[in-house]
Amino acid sequence: MAVVFQRTAGLTDAETHYCPGCTHGIVHRLVGEVLVELGVLDRAIAVIPVGCATLAYDYFNCDVQQAAHGRAPAVATGIRRVLPDRVVFAYQGDGDLASIGTAEIVHAAHRSENITVIFINNAIYGMTGGQMAPTTLVGQKTTTSPLGRDPRLAGEPIRIAEMLAQIPGASFVERVACDSPPHVKAAKRVIRRAFETQLAGEGFALVEVLSTCPTNWGLEPVDALAWVRDHMIPYYPLGNLRDPKKDAAARGGVRPEE
C-alpha cells in the first residue's frame, strides 16, 4: 500500500480564497509539487501578480514578492540579478501579463532573464469581476464586451506564447491546459521542464496554462473545463514552441547540458 497522492509541501496549509473549481488551485499545486520534486523549494522566490492570485503569498510555501499589476517580470528580474543562484518564478494572469504587463514580459524574454513564468490564461479578468482580456475569445461575453468580443473593435485574441516564441531570448515556451487529468499531468511535466530550463541557466521559460474562471464565465466548474476544451484549445493550440533541447538539436547539439 502506498500513498500515491497527497498534499504537497510546496504549498502552505492555508485554504485558498479561489472560487470552487477554479483551476488556479490546480496550477498552484503543480508548481508546488515541481518545486518539491526538484528539491528547490527552499531556495525558491515567487513573484505573484495583481489578479486573483494576488493573495498567493499565503499559498506558495517559499519566499514571495507581491508585484504591481503587470510588473512581475520586472520584479523577478530585480530579484534574479541580485540572487543569481536562487530559483525565481513569476505567476501571472492574462490581464496582468498580456495586457498591462506586455512590455515587461516581452523584455524579460528579450533579455532572456533566467526566470520561469507561469502564465494563467483564463480569457478574462477574474479578480475585478469579469472584464475582457486580450485573450478573451471572439464572441465571448464579458462585463466590458456585453455583446461578446467584437474583433472589429477589440481585435482578435492574442496568442502570447506564439508571439513570445519569436523573441530570440525566449528559450522555453509551451502551452498546456488544465481541462482534464491527462492535460494536467502533461502540464506538470512542462512546468518541470520550464524550471529545469532555469536550473540549467538556459534563460527565459514560459508556460501558458489554459485555465478556467467558472465565476466570471458564468459556468459550473465542470462545464468550464469543457469550455476550455471546446473553445479555448482550438484557438490556443497546445504544444511546445521553443525548447533549448529542441533548439540545441536543431543547431546540432551545441548546448552544453544536453
Partner 1 sequence: MARVLMKGNEAVGAAAIAAGCRHYFGYPITPQSELLEYMSVHLPKVGGVFLQSESEVAAINMCYGAAGAGARVMTGSSSPGIALMQEGISYLAGAELPSVIVNIVRGGPGLGGIQPAQSDYHQSTRGGGDGDYKLLVYAPSTVQEMAELVALAFDKADEYRNPVMIVGDGMLGQIMEPVEIVERPPDPALPPKTWATTGTRDHPGSRSIINSLFLKPEVLEHHILDLFAKYERMREREVLVEEYRVEDADLVVVAYGTTARIVKSAIAALAAEGVRVGLIRPITLFPFPAESLRRLPDRVANLLVVEMSMGQMIDDVRIANEGRRTVHFLGRTGGMIPLPQVIADTVRHILAEHHAGDVPHVSVGDEKGGR
Partner 2 sequence: MAKGRVAFDRDLCKGCGLCVSVCPEHMLELDTATINRKGYHPAHVVEGREDDCIGCALCAVMCPDQVITVEKF
Partner 3 sequence: MHNERIIIAGFGGQGILTMGQLLAQAALDEGRQVTWLPSYGPAMRGGTANCNVIVDDAPIASPVVHGDATSVLIMNVPSMKFVADLVPGGFALINTSMVNTRVERTDVRAFYVPATELAVAAGDLKTTNLVMLGAFTEMTHCVGSASVLHALEAKLGGAKAHLMDANRRAFALGAEAIAAQEGAAHRPTEPSVPR
Ligand X SMILES: Cc1ncc(C[n+]2csc(CCOP(=O)(O)OP(=O)(O)O)c2C)c(N)n1
**Using CB under 8 A as the criterion, which residues of the chain lie in contact with partner 1 when the complex forms?**
42-45, 47, 50, 54-55, 57, 61-71, 74-83, 86-88, 95, 99-100, 102-104, 106-107, 110-111, 125, 127-129, 131-132, 134, 143-146, 153-154
Q: Return the H-helix or E-strand segment holding 244.
A: helix 244-250
Residue nearest to Mg ion (CB): 93
List the grid coordinates of 167. 523573441
Binding mask 81-100 for a copy of itself (x = CB under 8 A): ------------------xx
Binding mask 44-63 for ligand SF4 (x = CB under 6 A): --------x-----------
Residues 137-166 that bind a copy of itself (CB under 8 A): 151, 153-159, 162-163, 165-166
Name, in order, each residue with C-beta under 8 angstroms of 91's C-beta and a sequence gap of 6 or more.
Answer: 27, 31, 46, 47, 48, 49, 53, 56, 60, 72, 117, 118, 120
Q: Is 191 in the site for a copy of itself (CB under 8 A)?
A: no
Name, in order, each residue with C-beta under 8 angstroms of 110's C-beta and a sequence gap of 6 or more.
Answer: 167, 168, 169
Is residue 19 left, alpha or beta, with left meaning phi > 0 and alpha meaning psi from -120 to 50?
Answer: beta
Least distance in Å: CB of 230 to ligand X?
20
Q: Phi and psi for 29 in degrees, rounded to 5?
A: -60, -45
Compute the distance between CA of residue 63 and CA of residue 76 in angstroms, rounded to an integer.
12
73 makes contact, choosing from a copy of itself, ligand SF4, ligand X, none, with CB < 5 to 8 Å by partner type, with: none
Candidate ranges 6-14, 126-134, 182-190, 243-251; the one touching partner 3 (CB under 8 A):
126-134
Compute the distance between CA of residue 236 and CA of residue 223 in angstroms, rounded to an integer.
18
Residues 72-111 that bind Mg ion (CB under 5 A): 93-94
Q: Is 216 in the site for ligand SF4 (CB under 6 A)?
A: yes
**How many residues contact Mg ion, by CB under 5 A?**
4
Angle, helices 24-37 vs 181-199, to 10°: value is 50
Give the residue, chosen from 126, 134, 203, 244, that forms a contact with partner 3 under the rule CB under 8 A.
Answer: 126
Q: Are strands 239-242 and 204-210 parallel, antiparallel or unpaired?
A: unpaired
Least distance in Å: CB of 109 to a copy of itself?
8
Q: Is 122 in the site for Mg ion (CB under 5 A)?
A: yes
Q: Is 36 in the site for ligand SF4 (CB under 6 A)?
A: no
